[in-house]
Each structure stands twice: as C-alpha cells, then as structure tokens.
C-alpha cells in the first residue's frame, strides 16, 4: 500500500505542469551552473598554474646572486583550486589567490575574485551548491506543502484511511514518492558533474576525490530528505494549504537568508579582531624586544656572535669559517616567525570563535549545517584556506632559512661574493598538496551530526505528530 | 472619498486583528534596527582601526629615532619607515556598507615600489564576508519586498475565497476604490516602516543633512512602490491566494537572487579583467633586474623623467640609496600600463553592471544605496588613485634628501606628508539609479493598469 501511494505521488507529480516547469528550471540552472563552474575552474586553474610555472622558472633561472638578494627576490605561492570547488566555490571568491613570499615578513594573500567585482557579488554566486542549498528546498516546499492539507480539503484522506492504511504509512508513501521526484531533478546534474570530474584530464581523480564526491552526494540526499519530511510534517500540522505554504516559505526565508547573515555578523561583533597593520607592528616589536620584552634583538645577535667566536676558539669575525650575518639572519627569521605564528594562531582562533556561532546554528538550521559540510567536502572552506596559508608560510620559512644557510656557509666577507646560478636550480619549488578528507574530517563532524540529527528527529517525532493529525 | 476612508479604516481594524501580519511588521522593524546597529558599529570599528594607524606610524618613528640617533641618510629612513594611506568612511556608509569589508580601508606604504604594496589586503574572516553585511540597505532591498508580498498576496483573493467580495461588490462601490483603499493602507504601513527605519538610521549614524537625505528616502519610496506595482499586477491576474504567493515569491527570487547571480556570471565572462597577478610578477622582475643593470643606464632613464636631479654626482659606489629608489620607481613605471589596464578593467565591469541593472530593481537599488554611501568599487579605485598620489608626494619629499645629499634629521619626520581620503558619493550613478528606478515603477504600474482594464474583477 505504501508503495502504491509513493507511486501515485510520483506519477501525479510528474503530470503536474507546474512541477514540470519549476523542475526544468532548476535542472537547467544546475546544468548551467555545473558547466559554468567548470569553465571558471579551468580559467582560474590555468591562470594560477601558468603563474606558478612562470615564477618557478624565474626563480630557477636567476643569475649569480648573493643569497640574501634571492631571499628578497622571493617567490609567489598561488592557491590551486580544489577539484570539487567547481560544485561549491565556498569562500574561494572572498579569499586571495596569490601570496608573495620573501624574507623578514609574511604578506597577505591578495587578488580575491570579490575584490575584482563590484558589490553585485554580494547577492550570491550561481554555483551548483547555491542551487542545491537554496533552490531545491524551495522546489521541495512547492511540491509538498499540500501533501496532507489538499487531501483533507478534498476529503480524500478519509477515503484513503478507510482502506486500512495507517496515517503513518500514508506519510511515508508520500515522502517516498516526493523523494523520487526530487532525485529525478537533481541526479542528472550531479551525474554530469561526476563525469566531468572523472574524465577531465585536469583533475587529479583519485580515491580522495571519489570519497569526497560520494559524501557530497549523500549529504545532499540527507538534506533533501529532511526537507521533504519537514514539509510533509508541516502540511499535516496546518489547517489549510495556504497556511502550510506560508509557514514553509517563512522558514525558508529565515533559514536561508536571514539567519546565516545574522549569525555571521553577530559572531564578528562579539569577537573583534585586529588589523593586519596592528598585528604586523606587534610581531615586529616583539621580535625586536623579545617575546618577554627583555630580550632585545641586538643583544641576541651579539650573544650569537660571542658564542660562535667561543665555539670556533677564535678572537675575531674574519677568522670564522661561517658568515655571522647569515647565522644572525637565520636566528632572527626563526624568532620573528615564531612570534608571527603565535599571532596568526590567535587570529585564526578568533575567526573560529566568530564562526562557531554559525556552526552551532546548524543544529537549529539545516541550511547552516549543509553549507559548511558542502564547502568542507569541496575543499573550499575556511579550514582549507588556512591550510594553504600555512603551507605557503612553511615553504617561505624553509626557503628563507635555506638561503640564510647558504649565506652562512659562504664565510666571512660574504657580501662581496655571489653564489653560482646553478645554486637556485637546486632549491625546491612550491608544490601545494591539498589536504585529504581524513584531515578535513574534524571540521565536518558537527555539521554532519546536525544533518543526521535533523533527519532522525523529523522522521521520529515528526511522524509521531502526523499520527495525531485530524483526518477531516 | 468618504467610502475610501471607511474602507481604509476597516483595513486598519482588519490588520490590527491579524496578529501574524503585526508580528511580521514588528519582525521587520526589529531586523531593521539590528541592521542599523550592526552597520553603525561596523563603521565605528573601522574608524577605530583607522584611528589606531597614526599611533603605529609614531611608534615606527620612535624606533627609527633610537636606531638613527643623529642625522641619518634619508635612504635608510625611506626603507625602514612606513606610513599609511587611509580611506575614511562617509557617515552614510553605516547604512549601506557595500564592499567596505572586502576592500581594505588602508594601505601601508614605504618609499619602495608602489605596485607590490597597493594591492595588499587586510585581515578578514572569509566566512563572514561570504555571508555579507546585515545593514539597513540589506533589510530594505531584500526583506522589505518580502513584507510587501506577505501583505499583498491575498489582497483580493482572500476576500473572494471567504465569499466577502461578492457581498462587497454588490454595494454601490467601484472596484477600483476597493483595491485602491486596500493598497493605500498597505502602502502607508510599509512606507511608514521604511521611513521610520531610514530616519532612525540617519539619526543613529549622524549623517550630514544634505541632499542625500532626500535621495535615500526617494530611493526607498520608489523601490517600495515598485514592489507594490508587482503585487498589483499579480492581483490583477485574480488567481487563488496560494498561486499569488508563489508567483510573487517567484518574482522576488528572480529579481533579488537569480538575475543578480546570473548577471555576475555574464559580466565576469564579458569583461575579463587583466590579471593583477601578472602585474605584480612583472614589477618584481623589473625591480630586481635593476640590481643587475648598469647603474648609468638606470640613472639616465630616471633623469629623463626627473631632469632636475641630472646634475647630481655620478654614482661610483657599489650601493647608494638614490640609485636603489630610482630603479624601484622605474619598476613601477614599467608596469604603469598594466596597472592602468587593471583599474580600467575593474571600472568597466562596474559600468557594465550599472548599465544592466535595469534588469533588476533590486540590483539598481543596492548599487544606488552604495553609490550614495560611497562604499562600492569606484570609491575604492578612487582611494587607490589617491594612495598613488600620496606615494608620489612621499617620493617628492624624499628625493631632495637623496639627490641633494641632505641629511635627514629628527625634525624632518614631522615634515613628511600625510594622507587622508574620505569616501565621496557617486552622485551620477545615484541620479541614473533614481531615473531607472522611476522607469521600472512606471513600467510595472503601466502593466498593472492595462491588466485591470482588460480584466474586470471576478467576484467569486
């Protein structure tokens, strides 16, 4: 019986012209968003790969130079796009793509797509995730708001129950039927995305990508399922179709438009951060005067020199086999980087506190659960961005220390000499390895739990509520 | 007229009794007040951040005074000294934050090449900027139309569905008066709310009382009128309430969500921006090539631009600051065409959006609010030009020290130029926005009038 109800809902949905138009629209948007997502992914990826290859070539082909000049010449790190970011661009449009790596300072990641467009970008971007997170639920609402109210208004619910089915079976039948209809709309686009992802030569298709894509699809399936169940439960609880529709649309506006913005803004107001200028000044001052304020840089440098003279048992700098300036530079870099890392960690901890409000709101609002989950799986969330920043900084540090080491080994009077051009070809270039799903897992746990909790509670408590709904 | 007043009065009693609608109005008022609170505190925070910057410069100068206790080589000072170009918000920015959180509100500058300093960004939380700003403009552009929809979707249909319309129209009353009275009442409620929020926002943000007060209110009124026009058109089709609700929400979705995101896509494709990345890479090559080029070549190129320093001593030293700053500046000049093309490309993108925003009054209203507050891309580009001029003035200040071999004393720090830039409204954009909004309003009421004429009211 349940299956006949499911089949009836499925078929009558397909016959509904309004559903046909709406779903064709959503499907068209999904397919367009997938193709556009891939095109923009390709452009950005090619631009960044080309830029990275260019700067790597430039670095390796430097003439004979003093290593500290090379440290100031520096290099760039470009952030490659993750494969799944063509489905969910996440925060990518608001994060920079290039960072200049040089001695003594940590630069900002510059040139975000948002800075290259007007305020139009604040209306939101047409990505697959946007369609899946906001438009498909709207389609589900239009599909399901009359699930029970209409049966009641036309008097068919009584007839149905007189056949000997329980109201719960009716509800499950409807949920099943509607779910099939939704799957029919969404599946082609996701299939296209999967094909594009696994056939395009530019994607490093591997186990990780497959696992991410699978979880991506499963998460959205749960998300749509809970919307279907929720809409059916609301339909059973409301007295008229109009009331059910207004309630559901009100929920959609609150959860999709108002709450995400309000929680993000409130979080930022609650936990203020400092500017980069302020942070850089503090890093500089602490590196100069010592972390405790009583260990100034020149004293540290003098102590280092004295230690060296003692270690090699000589009485003047020119008798040392190493360059004091090079070793002092290395010690200074180590110290200032340690100070920077403390500040960077504190800044990110503040950002995490700001975002925590939104994360926990996921327990109340399924949209705020699927959003971080989706961008986390797509590799385009804040955590993945920080991972890139840290990888770039760690490469910068290694590069600069390697060059300081080269300078130190040049011995006394290094400033008058240069190192051979072949030296630079031996320096490793920046290669970014995006983190695996296992690394991202801790960030995904809360939103995933929130989604499952919603689905579970709705199917359990919601369906119990349905059982008490009036028949006529 | 008397009849109109009676109908208007009964709409008021009806509205008071409908608790859901009163609740919605209160909700909008509350979100609007939160938007004003958020916008003003956000701008206050930015002001505070900017106010802290001179202190950083002062600390930097104190450090340099210790490092160079006597008269110093200006080259050393130019290298270690940093100062700030600052972009102060207009008071109106609190009501429409635009891109003020995406673009940095200051640039830290040293005497070195400008182009690798100009595009530095500030610390931002990407999740927060992705979610956007909950300012008054957001409430007016996004949420106010939803309130209008909630008030108007069953303007006539509920009367018909409850069987009142047939009784009402049996009275000696013209249908136009009924619809007019209902619409007028809702208009008073919505405009009252929007006006109240705007006035509270203006007082809270302490905006200067100039012509922009009228502009802001006109924009708000026209935008509301547009959405009432849309409701009028949908009401004229005389479908059931549920269909009306879906149709109105569909229009909202189309104009506020779909058109903007599709427009964003097409503009990015139609106006590709020359790469900022390529520009900085090229500038680095030029500047670092300066170390390897013969000094006379560099200096001759520089003197061609600054003939007043031509007669200064020939460089024989291995390193001298004036040569170093000469090739820093030549590096900037080498990428000047790219820098201009980059800024021009961004402006063109903005201009194209401005031309096409007739497609959606929501984009038009948002663009106009931002133009009024001076918080959009053109203002940031203006700030970048102003910062460039400031860098020029810094070079003009240091060059006499460097080329005239004048020693830099402690008293000279105070003579260094400083920078301040305050956002200016984009008035031409604002005027065009108002005219276009007026056109949209005229179009939608024209359509409504035609529909009402061809379709008489069906009482049941």
Q: How far is CA B247 from CA B6, B85, B149, B237, in A?
A: 30, 50, 10, 11
Q: d(Cα B209, Cα B200) in Å, to the nearest integer?
A: 13
Could you tell me if A360 lies within 8 Å of chain B, comparing CB atoms?
no
Contact A126 B256 (CB under 8 A): no
Which DSSP string do the residues of A219-278 spell out, in sequence order? HHHHHHHHHHHHHHHHHHHSSSHHHHHHHHHHHHHIIIIIHHHHHHHHHHHHS----HHH
Residue B258 has pLDDT above 60, yes or no: yes
Residues shown for chain A: 472
* Backbone phi and psi for residue B331, each to the nearest 5 degrees, phi listed first: -60, -40
- Sort out which chain A residues have CB atoms less than 8 A from B126's CB and list them: 91, 94-95, 382, 385
Match 């916008």 to its residue by tokens.
B39
pLDDT of res. A355: 94
Q: Hey, are the CB atoms on A124 and B275 less than 8 Å from each other?
A: no
Q: Are A124 and B260 a contacting pair at CB < 8 A? A: yes
- Give yes or no for a contact between A375 and A129, defined as CB atoms under 8 angstroms apart: yes
Interface test with B, best of A79, A95, A112, A119 (most B CBs within 10 A): A119
The token pair at B208 is: 């200067």
Chain B nearest-CA distance from A424, in A, is 15
Q: Contact, A166 vs A467, CB < 8 A?
A: yes
Q: Determine the distance in angstroms separating the CA of B3 from the nearest CA of chain A, rounded to an integer.
A: 30
B133–A122 C-beta distance less than 8 A: yes
Q: What one-character DSSP code corresponds to residue B3? A: H
A166 has a chain B CB within 8 A of its CB: no
Q: What is the pLDDT of residue B58?
A: 96
Task: List, for residues B182-219, the tens digit of each pLDDT value.
Answer: 999 999 999 999 999 999 999 999 999 989 999 999 99
Q: Is the pLDDT of residue A202 over 60?
A: no
Q: Is the dihedral of CA A20, A21, A27, A30 positive or negative?
A: negative
Nearest to A109 by CA among B100, B277, B109, B383: B277
Size of interface A-B (CB pairs under 8 A): 218
- Is-contact B32 B204, C-beta < 8 A? no
Non-local (6+) Cβ contacts of B67 within 8 A are B80
Average pLDDT over residues B408-416: 95
User: Is the CB of residue B426 less than 8 Å away from at least one CB of chain A?
Assistant: no
Q: Which residues contact B154 (CB under 8 A, 6 or more apart)?
A: A242, B161, B241, B244, B245
Any idea how long chain B is? 460
CA-CA distance, A299 to A311, in Å (whole number)? 18
Q: Output the CA–CA distances (angstroms, integers) from residue B54 to A214, A231, A397, B48, in the order listed.
A: 53, 56, 30, 11
Q: How confident is the model at residue B47 (pLDDT cuts 50, 70, 90)?
A: very high
Beta-carbon separation of A275 and B264 below 8 A: no
B62: CB partners within 8 A, 6+ apart: none
Q: Does A49 touch chain B (CB under 8 A)?
A: no
A22 has a pLDDT exceeding 90 = no
For A242-264, write each residue's pLDDT tens digit.
788 888 988 999 999 999 999 99
**Residues near B397 by Cβ (< 8 Å), separated by ≥ 6?**
B415, B416, B417
Minimal Cα–Cα distance from B289 to chain A, Å? 10
> Quick one: tokens of B128?
């927060």
pLDDT for B242: 78
Across B76-84, average pLDDT: 95
- Identify the pLDDT of residue A463: 83
**pLDDT of A39 over the 90 cut:** no
Best B32, B104, B130 member to test A by mutation, with max A CBs in 10 Å, is B130
Q: Which of A92-101, A212-221, A409-418, B45-54 has the lowest mean pLDDT?
A: A409-418
For residue B35, the chain A residues in CB contact (below 8 A) are: none
Confidence check: pLDDT of B255 > 90: yes
Dihedrals phi, psi of B86, to nearest 5 degrees: -120, 140
* Residue from B69, B128, B362, B375 whose CB has the most chain A CBs within 10 Å, to mutate: B128
Is a pLDDT exceeding 70 seen at residue A204?
Answer: no
pLDDT of res. A154: 85
Average pLDDT across chain A, whole number: 89
Does B145 score more than 90 pLDDT? yes
Mutation test of the interface with chain A: which of B86, B93, B117, B131, choosing the one with the most A Cβ atoms within 10 A?
Answer: B131
Chain B, nearest residue to A32 by Cα: B262
DSSP A416: G
CB contact under 8 Å between B138 and A94, yes or no, is no
Q: Does residue A121 carry a pLDDT above 80?
A: yes
Contact A234, A244 (CB under 8 A): yes
Show which of residues 280-309 on chain A sit within 8 Å of chain B, judged by CB atoms: 280-281, 285, 288
Structure tokens at B201: 């926002």
- Burial class of residue B253 in the structure, from the number of CB atoms within 10 Å of its CB (0-12 exposed, 13-18 middle, 19+ buried): middle
- Rounded to a whole number, what is the distance in Å from the CA of B237 to chain A's nearest CA? 17
Taking CA atoms, A381 is separated from A35, A49, B226, in Å, by 21, 21, 38
CA distance A7 to A292: 73
All residues at 6 or more sequence positions from A462 whose CB lies less than 8 Å from its CB, including other chains: A229, A230, A232, A233
Which strands sit side by side in the sheet containing B83-88, from one edge to the other?
A: B106-109, B83-88, B421-422
The 3-class secondary structure across A414-447, one letter per residue, is HHHCCECCHHHHCCCCCCCCCCCHHHHHHHHHHH
- Return the number of other C-beta atoms located less than 10 Å from residue A466's C-beta: 23
Of all helices (H) and strands (E), which one includes residue A431? Answer: none
Dist. CA B272–CA B278, nearest whole Å: 14
Cα atoms in the 13 Å half-sphere on the side-chain side of A171: 25
Ramachandran category for residue A105: left, alpha or beta (phi over 0 → left; psi -120 to 50 → alpha):
beta
Is there a contact between B133 and A126 if contact means CB atoms under 8 Å apart?
Answer: no
Can you name the residues that pair with A76 across neighbouring β-strands? A100
Q: At how many degrees (to 10) do helices A324-361 and A259-270 cross?
A: 140
User: What's the token pair of residue B408?
Assistant: 């830099």
- Taking the CA atoms of B275, B276, B280 and B283 in sequence, report the sign of the dihedral they define: positive
CA distance B448 to A167: 45
Chain B residue nearest residue A280, CA to CA: B56
What residue of A is the nearest CA neighbor of B43?
A269
Nearest C-alpha of chain A: how many angstroms from B408? 23
Percent over 90 (pLDDT), chain A? 51
| Closest chain A C-alpha to B323 CA, distance in angstroms | 16
Q: Sign (positive/negative) of CA torsion B303, B308, B311, B314?
A: negative
Hey, are the CB atoms on A273 and B125 less than 8 Å from each other? yes
Distance CA(A242)–CA(A409), nearest Å, equals 81
Contact criterion met (CB < 8 Å) for A119 and B99: yes
**Cβ(B263)–Cβ(B353) below 8 Å:** yes
Q: Do A261 and B131 touch (CB under 8 A)?
A: yes
Helix ranges restricted to H, A104-166: 128-130, 136-144, 149-154, 156-161
In tens, the pLDDT along A224-234 reads 999 999 999 99
pLDDT (tens digit, 9 = 90+) per residue, B328-377?
A: 999 999 999 999 999 999 999 999 999 999 999 999 999 999 999 999 99
Q: Per-domain residue ranges for chain A? A: 2-467
Domain ranges of chain B: 2-280+325-454
CB B276 within 8 A of CB A116: yes
Mean pLDDT calculated for residue range A427-446: 92
Residue B147: the pLDDT is 94
Average pLDDT, chain B: 92
Per-residue burial over B318-337, b if 16 or more Cβ lie within 10 Å, else e, is eebbbbbbbbbbbbbbbbee
Identify the three-state secondary structure at position B369. Answer: helix
CA distance B108 to B118: 8
User: Which of A54, A281, A382 lies at the smallest CB-CB distance from B127?
Assistant: A382
Q: How far apart are CA B155 and CA B187, in angstroms?
A: 12
Strand pairing partners for B104? none
- A61–chain B Cβ distance below 8 A for any pair: no
Distance CA B394, CA B388 (A): 10
- Cα dihedral value B316, A411, A57, B109, nearest 10: -60
pLDDT in tens, A4-16: 888 888 888 888 8
Q: Identify the helix (H) or strand (E) that includes residue A100.
A: strand A98-101
**Taken in order A440, A441, A443, A449, is the CA torsion positive or negative?**
positive
For chain B, positions 327-356, list CB contacts with chain A under 8 A. 346, 349-350, 353
pLDDT attached to residue B436: 97
pLDDT above 90: residue A271 = yes
What pTM, to 2 d.p., does this model score? 0.93
Mean pLDDT of A194-205: 70
pLDDT at position A191 is 86
Indicate the pLDDT class of residue A113, thresholds 50, 70 and 90.
confident
CA distance linking residue B252 with residue B25, whole number of Å: 18
Residues 260-279 of A with CB under 8 A from B: 260-265, 267-269, 272-279
For residues B116 and B284, what is the distance between their CA atoms, to the nearest angstrom? 8
Do B226 and B444 contact (CB within 8 A), yes or no? yes
B31 contacts A119? CB cut-off 8 A: no
pLDDT band at A372; cut points 50, 70, 90: very high
| A123 to B134: CB separation less than 8 angstroms, yes or no | no
Instruction: Scan for tokens 């002062």, then name that residue.
Output: B58
pLDDT at B460 over 70: no
């Amino acid at each position: 019986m349940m299956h006949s109800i499911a089949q009836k809902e499925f078929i009558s949905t397909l016959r509904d012209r309004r559903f046909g138009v709406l779903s064709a629209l959503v499907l068209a948007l999904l397919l367009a968003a997938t193709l556009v997502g891939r095109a923009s992914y390709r452009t950005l990826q090619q631009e960044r790969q080309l830029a990275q290859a260019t700067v790597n070539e430039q670095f390796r082909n430097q003439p004979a130079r003093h290593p500290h000049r090379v440290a100031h010449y520096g290099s760039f790190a470009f952030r490659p796009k993750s494969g799944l970011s063509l489905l969910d661009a996440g925060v990518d449009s608001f994060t920079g793509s290039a960072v200049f790596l040089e001695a003594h300072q940590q630069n900002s990641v510059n040139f975000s797509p948002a800075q290259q467009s007007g305020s139009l970008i604040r209306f939101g971007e047409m990505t697959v995730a946007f369609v899946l997170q906001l438009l498909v639920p709207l389609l589900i609402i239009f599909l399901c708001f009359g699930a029970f109210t209409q049966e009641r208004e036309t008097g068919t619910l009584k007839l149905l129950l007189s056949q000997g089915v329980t109201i719960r079976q009716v509800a499950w039948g409807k949920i099943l039927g509607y779910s099939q209809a939704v799957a029919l709309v969404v599946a082609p686009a996701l299939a296209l995305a999967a094909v594009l992802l696994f056939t395009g030569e530019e994607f490093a298709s591997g186990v990780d990508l497959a696992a991410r894509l699978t979880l991506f699809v499963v998460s959205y399936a749960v998300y749509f399922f809970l919307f279907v169940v929720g809409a059916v439960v609301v339909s059973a609880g409301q007295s008229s179709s109009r009331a059910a529709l207004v309630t559901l649309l009100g929920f959609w506006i609150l959860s999709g438009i108002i709450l995400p913005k309000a929680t993000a803004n409130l979080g930022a107001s609650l936990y203020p951060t400092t500017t980069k200028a302020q942070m850089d000044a503090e890093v500089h001052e602490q590196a100069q005067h010592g972390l405790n304020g009583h260990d100034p840089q020149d004293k540290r440098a003098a102590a280092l020199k004295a230690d060296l003279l003692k270690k090699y048992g000589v009485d003047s700098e020119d008798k040392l086999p190493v360059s004091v300036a090079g070793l002092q530079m290395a010690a200074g870099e180590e110290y200032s980087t340690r100070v920077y890392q403390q500040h960077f960690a504190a800044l990110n901890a503040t950002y995490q506190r700001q975002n925590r409000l939104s994360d926990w709101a996921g327990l109340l609002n399924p949209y705020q659960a699927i959003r971080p989950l989706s961008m986390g799986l797509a590799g385009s969330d804040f955590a993945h961005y920080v991972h890139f920043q840290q990888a770039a900084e760690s490469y910068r540090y290694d590069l600069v220390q390697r060059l300081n080491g080269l300078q130190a080994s040049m011995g006394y009077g290094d400033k008058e000499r240069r190192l051979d051009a072949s030296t630079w070809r031996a320096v490793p270039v920046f290669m970014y390895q995006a983190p695996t799903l296992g690394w991202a897992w801790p960030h995904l746990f809360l939103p995933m739990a929130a989604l499952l909790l919603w689905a579970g509670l709705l199917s359990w408590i919601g369906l119990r509520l349905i059982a008490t709904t009036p028949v006529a | 007229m008397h009849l109109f007043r009676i109908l208007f009065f009964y709409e008021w009693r009806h509205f008071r009794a409908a608790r859901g609608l009163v609740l919605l109005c209160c909700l909008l008022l509350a979100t609007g007040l939160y938007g004003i609170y958020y916008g003003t505190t956000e701008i206050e925070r930015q002001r505070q951040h900017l106010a802290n910057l001179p202190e950083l410069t002062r600390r930097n100068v104190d450090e340099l005074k210790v490092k160079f206790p006597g008269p110093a080589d200006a080259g050393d000072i130019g290298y270690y000294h940093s100062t700030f170009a600052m972009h102060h918000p207009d008071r109106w920015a609190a009501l429409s934050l635009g891109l003020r959180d995406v673009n940095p509100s200051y640039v830290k500058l040293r005497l070195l090449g400008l182009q690798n300093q100009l595009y530095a960004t500030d610390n931002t939380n990407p999740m927060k900027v992705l979610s956007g700003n909950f300012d008054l403009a957001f409430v007016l552009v996004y949420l106010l139309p939803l309130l209008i929809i909630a008030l108007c979707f069953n303007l006539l249909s509920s009367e018909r569905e409850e069987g009142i319309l047939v009784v009402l129209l049996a009275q000696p009353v013209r249908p136009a008066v009924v619809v007019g009275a209902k619409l007028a009442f809702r208009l008073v409620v919505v405009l009252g709310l929007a006006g109240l929020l705007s006035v509270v926002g203006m007082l809270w943000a302490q905006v200067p009382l100039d012509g922009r007060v009228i502009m802001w209110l006109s924009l708000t009124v026209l935008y509301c009128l547009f959405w009432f026009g849309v409701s009028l058109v949908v009401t004229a089709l005389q479908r059931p309430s549920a269909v009306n609700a879906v149709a109105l929400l569909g229009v909202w979705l189309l104009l506020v969500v779909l058109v903007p995101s599709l427009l964003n896509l097409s503009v990015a494709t139609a106006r590709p921006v020359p790469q900022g990345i390529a520009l900085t890479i090229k500038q680095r090559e030029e500047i670092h090539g300066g170390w390897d080029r013969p000094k006379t070549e560099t200096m001759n190129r520089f003197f061609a631009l600054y003939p007043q320093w031509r007669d200064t001593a020939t460089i024989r030293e291995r390193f001298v600051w004036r040569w170093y700053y000469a090739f820093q500046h030549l590096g900037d000049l080498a990428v000047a065409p790219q820098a201009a093309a980059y800024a021009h490309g961004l402006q063109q993108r903005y201009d194209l959006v401005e031309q096409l925003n007739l497609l959606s009054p929501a984009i038009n209203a948002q663009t106009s609010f931002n133009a009024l507050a001076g918080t959009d891309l053109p203002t940031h580009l203006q700030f970048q030009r102003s910062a460039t001029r400031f860098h020029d003035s810094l070079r003009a200040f240091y060059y006499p020290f460097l080329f005239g071999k004048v020693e830099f004393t402690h008293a000279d720090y105070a003579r260094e130029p400083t920078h301040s830039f305050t956002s200016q409204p984009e008035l031409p954009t604002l005027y065009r926005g108002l005219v276009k909004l007026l056109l949209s309003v005229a179009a939608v009421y024209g359509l409504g009038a035609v529909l009402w004429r061809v379709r008489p009211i069906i009482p049941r």
